[in-house]
Every structure is written in C-alpha cells, then in structure tokens.
Amino acid sequence: MAKKVTVVGAGFYGSTTAQRLAEYDLFDTVVLTDIVEGKPEGLALDLNQSRPIEGFETKVIGKTTGTDGSGYEVIEGSDVVIVTAGMPRKPGMSRMDLLEVNAKIVRGVAQSVARYAPESVVIVVSNPLDEMTALTQLATGFPRQRVMGQAGMLDTARFSHFVAEALAVPVASVRTLTLGSHGDTMVPVPSQCTVNGKPLTELLPAEKIEELVERTRNGGAEVVALLKTGSAYYAPSAAAARMARAVAEDSGAVLPVCAWVDGEYGISGVYLGVEAEIGAAGVRRVVETPLTDDERAALHDAAEAVRAKQSDVAA
C-alpha cells in the first residue's frame, strides 16, 4: 500500500528526519513543510537529487505553508505526521522556556493536521515535549492512541551510548531504559539496564551509574552548549524516524515513547514517557516494566510534575 509521511518544520530536526525517512525507501512520499518561503521546496529538491546516489525511490515533496493553514492540502492522505515546528533551545534555556512560543505554533499546526490528515498518526517532537504532545492531542481531537511524543528513544539512546563508552563495549550489547518526562523528571531505570544480558548494576558502581544518568538527563543541554545556535538533531531525528517506521510497518515494536497513560503503573490521565507497542493505529498498548520501589516512586513524581504543566497548556 502507498505510504505517505509528512514532516512539519524543515529546520534541523525536520530536514534530517525527512532524509532518514526517504533513505529507508519505505514510503512512496515524504512531505516536508515549513513557513519559510522556499526552504522546504529547496531541501526537497536537494534530497531528491540524492536519490540516484543513495538508491531510493521515495519522492520528497517540499511545500511552504502559511500559519493560516494555506498549503496544507499537500499532507492529505498522510499515514504519519511528525511535528517538528517550533523554536529550539539556546544555551542556558530550559525546554520549559519554549512553552509559550511553541504552544502557539504547535496548536496551529495541529489544527491543520486534523483538517487535512484526519486519519494520521501524529508524532510530536517540539519542546517542551510532554506538554506539546498533550496539546496536540487536544487541538487535533484525535484519539489519544494516535498522538504520541518522541523523547524516550532519544534519552535511552544517549544513556546507552554513555554506558557503551564507559565499559568500552559495542553499543549493540547495551540495553538501557528511561521513563518519565523529557526533562528534569526523566526517570532512568537502572534495574532494567543490561550489557550482554548482564545487569548494569553488577558491572558499574552505583556512583558511576548515577554519573551517566546525570549526563543523560543533561544530554540535550550538553549539545546545545557546544553548538551555541540550536539543539541536537542527528540522534533526535533517528528516534522520530524509527517511530514513524514502526507505524508504517505496523511492526508492534516496543519503544520508549511519550504516550497516554491510563492506569498503567497506577497512573492515569497524563502523557508520560513509557514503553509502548507501536503499530499502524499508533500506540497499541502501554507495556509495563517491573520497577523497583524507588523507580516507581520517581515515575509517580514525574507524572505529577507533567500533569500540572499539561493542564496549564490545556487551559
């Protein structure tokens, strides 16, 4: 079946995501949009010209859209829409500093997505992530399972990379897990982390694990401080593209995502970072992982912190 994916926002995150999606050679069409006149068209032309070299048939369509929703006909029939529109952080900024400006952008984008791609699964990446995901669900009116956010895959990837470096082992042998929010209340789950199947807690002292957790928690800020002009996009785009792929392939992959939680872990009524089975309809189900008492308490704290902020956005 013909597959179509749209990436809204052709900045660093959006353009690298479009590239990864096109190079999968899985979709018939990748649509890239932005409000900056000519930018998505130019990037699409450039990406299409890489097709003979990279060897993919997917066509990339670039389209300038207006904040009034003009141009959005191009997204019609999209199976998946990835929302990257919005400001990134500058050094010293927290993700919450972006709330006001990005809420306005994301609300407008979500309304246009609901109008032109009413059957799509939406993956939100704009920050602050948990709040923008909740806002997108409200503004689209989509079933909650069809709206999710990308954060956990990135935080987990960062954690795995740091563990692999610390132990000098292949990254493929490392499995880590983070839950909670994409921010200060990220909840690392050391009890579920393994290296070649061995518990991480047996391979590294608790202080070293805590140091890696702290670096993971500040992983985004570390990149922002080095770049000075914007935030990370290679690892983030890899994460969003993989989520879109799981939807397109209806794969049932269990991935850490920001999903609506309804009773799992004794938590209800909030978008939160959890593991979930992803398929064509979005989140098939949230998958509960065994947690220690401390990890469970931290997840409850994270849920309450994001719940308060998500209701501010909804107001």
Active-site residue list = 182
Contact status, residue 191 vs residue 252, Cβ threshold 8 Å: no
Asked if residue 279 binds ligand NAD (CB under 6 A), the reply is no
Asked if residue 88 binds ligand NAD (CB under 6 A), the reply is yes
Asked if residue 67 binds ligand NAD (CB under 6 A), the reply is yes
- Residues numbered 208 to 247 that lie near ligand NAD (CB under 6 A) are 230-233, 236
Contact status, residue 302 vs residue 308, Cβ threshold 8 Å: no
Shortest distance, position 198 Cβ to ligand NAD, whole Å: 29
Shortest distance, position 169 Cβ to ligand NAD, whole Å: 25
Q: Which residue's CB is nearer to ligand NAD, number 161 or number 204?
A: 161
Token duo for residue 44: 């699409």
Q: Nearest CA to 314 among 145, 135, 130? A: 135
- Residues numbered 92 to 111 that lie near ligand NAD (CB under 6 A) are 98, 102, 105, 108-109
Q: Which residue's CB is nearer to ligand NAD, number 126 or number 140?
A: 126
Q: Nearest CA to 244 among 127, 122, 158? A: 122
Q: Which of 6, 13, 159, 160 binds ligand NAD (CB under 6 A)?
A: 13
Considering only 82-90, 165-173, 296-304, 306-314, which stretch makes contact with ligand NAD by CB under 6 A? 82-90
- Residue for token pair 């990406």: 47
Asked if residue 10 binds ligand NAD (CB under 6 A), the reply is yes
Q: Which of 12, 72, 159, 260 binds ligand NAD (CB under 6 A)?
A: 12
Query: Number of H helices and number of E strands within the chain?
Result: 10, 14
Contact status, residue 14 vs residue 8, Cβ threshold 8 Å: yes
Shortest distance, position 286 Cβ to ligand NAD, whole Å: 19
The rounded distance, in Å, linking the Cα atoms of 237 and 235 is: 6
Shortest distance, position 204 Cβ to ligand NAD, whole Å: 25
Contact status, residue 281 vs residue 258, Cβ threshold 8 Å: no
Preceding peptide of 128 cis, ω within 30°: yes
Q: Determine how β-strand 4-8 pairs with β-strand 253-262.
A: unpaired
Asked if residue 180 binds ligand NAD (CB under 6 A), the reply is no
Q: Which of 5, 122, 129, 313 binds ligand NAD (CB under 6 A)?
A: 129
Chain CA centroid to CA 115, Å: 22
| Torsion on CA atoms 67, 71, 77, 80, rounded to nearest 10 | -40
Token duo for residue 226: 């080095």
Q: Nearest CA to 178 among 214, 145, 206? A: 214
Helix (H, G, I), strand (E, B) or coil at 278: strand
Asked if residue 271 binds ligand NAD (CB under 6 A), the reply is no
Asked if residue 36 binds ligand NAD (CB under 6 A), the reply is yes
Q: Which residue's CB is nearer to ligand NAD, number 98 or number 163?
A: 98
**Count residues contacting ligand NAD (CB under 6 A)?**
37
Contact status, residue 243 vs residue 257, Cβ threshold 8 Å: yes
Asked if residue 152 binds ligand NAD (CB under 6 A), the reply is no
Considering only 81-89, 165-173, 241-249, 282-290, which stretch makes contact with ligand NAD by CB under 6 A? 81-89
Chain contacts with ligand NAD (rule: CB under 6 A): 8-14, 33-36, 65, 67, 84-89, 98, 102, 105, 108-109, 125-127, 129, 150-151, 154, 182, 230-233, 236
